[in-house]
Amino acid sequence: MANVMEKTLSQAIAQRRATPSFDGFPLPEKDLKRILEAGLQAPSGYNMQPWRFLVVRSEEQKRRLRAASFNQAKVEEASAVIVACGDADGWRNGDLEEMLRLGREGGMPENYSEMAKINIPNYLSNHPNFPMWLNRHVMIAFTTMMLMAEVLGYDTAPMEGFEQERVSEVLKLPLSYHVVALLAIGRLKGSDKFYGGRFNMARTVFAEEYGKPIKL
Ligand SMILES: Cc1cc2nc3c(=O)[nH]c(=O)nc-3n(C[C@H](O)[C@H](O)[C@H](O)COP(=O)(O)O)c2cc1C
């Protein structure tokens, strides 16, 4: 474990930076497991969980992944890189049945389950923007993993700088997999990046309708 004391979520949010460089400090399996499990607890529409994650830790695969990620050194330096994907066909290939089975175990009413069998395939096969649907779910789980890693005392770097086709080739991904983002996890080497600041709430948050400032 990077730190004996876990950070609070507020501390992790305040202190997190996109880490510029990692020192190769290993990520013990028990911590990796907690990070993955945290992400898998994320919410998703109809609980359909269309995310898939590939964990890259071997030096050889990290080297290949780096080459597919515009040669970003942190891909190779990090202890682990979680490649977050969405599976466009998961719901057709058993996810729906598994979601319903788990739901029934937890008390899902029978009539909900019967309706869901019809409504969910209808909804997903006619979705106006399926990549957006996939992306929003993958990123919730991804963000939960990132924050869990920070709570456990690790440093993280989210990345969109990669070539989809090359990453798919390195990881031997099925054609239905969309690579959404990479999450490098490890321990910061050297000094952290500057804090880039955040837009004022007046620019990004509105109250009741667009353009009306929120007063807090
Ligand atoms: C989805 C996503 C993709 C990103 N991709 C990259 C990347 O490929 N390379 C990189 O150096 N930083 C990347 N970043 C890091 C951002 O540049 C960084 O989060 C931003 O400048 C704000 O800095 P901070 O996270 O330290 O506050 C990415 C961040 C996010 C959320």
Q: Which atom of ligand 1 is nearest to the CA of 69?
A: 8
Ligand 1 atom with the smallest distance to the CA of 139 is 1
Which residue minimizes the CA distance to atom 30 of ligand 1? 158
Measured by CA distance, the residue closest to atom 21 of ligand 1 is 196
Tokens of 189: 């080497």
Ligand 1: lining residues by beta carbon, under 6 Å: 17-18, 72, 158-161, 181, 193, 196
> How much distance in Å is there from the Cα of 87 to the middle of ligand 1?
24
What is the rounded CA–CA span in Å between residue 206 and residue 143?
Answer: 24
Q: In whole angstroms, give the CA distance from residue 25 to residue 153.
A: 12
Q: pLDDT exceeding 90 applies to what percent of the chain?
A: 98
pLDDT in tens, 116-137: 999 999 999 999 999 999 999 9
Question: Is 25:2 a contact under the CB 8 Å cutoff?
Answer: yes
Spatial distance between the Cα atoms of 21 and 156, rounded to a whole number of angstroms: 10
The set of residues, in sequence order, having a beta carbon less than 8 Å from that of 151 and lying 6+ positions away, is: 6, 7, 8, 9, 12
Q: What is the pLDDT of residues 169-195, one digit of tens each?
A: 999 999 999 999 999 999 999 999 999
Whether residue 182 contacts residue 159, with contact meaning beta carbons closer than 8 Å, is answered with: yes
Geometric angle at alpha carbon 105, from 38 and 108, rounded to 5°: 95
* pLDDT at residue 165, as a whole number: 98
Q: In testing the pocket of ligand 1, which one of 159, 183, 194 has its CB within 8 Å of the most ligand atoms? A: 159
Residue nearest to atom 5 of ligand 1 (CA): 159
What are the pLDDT digits (tens) for 34-90? 999 999 999 999 999 999 999 999 999 999 999 999 999 999 999 999 999 999 999
Q: Set out the domains of the chain in order of their start, with CATH numbers.
A: 9-191 (3.40.109.10)
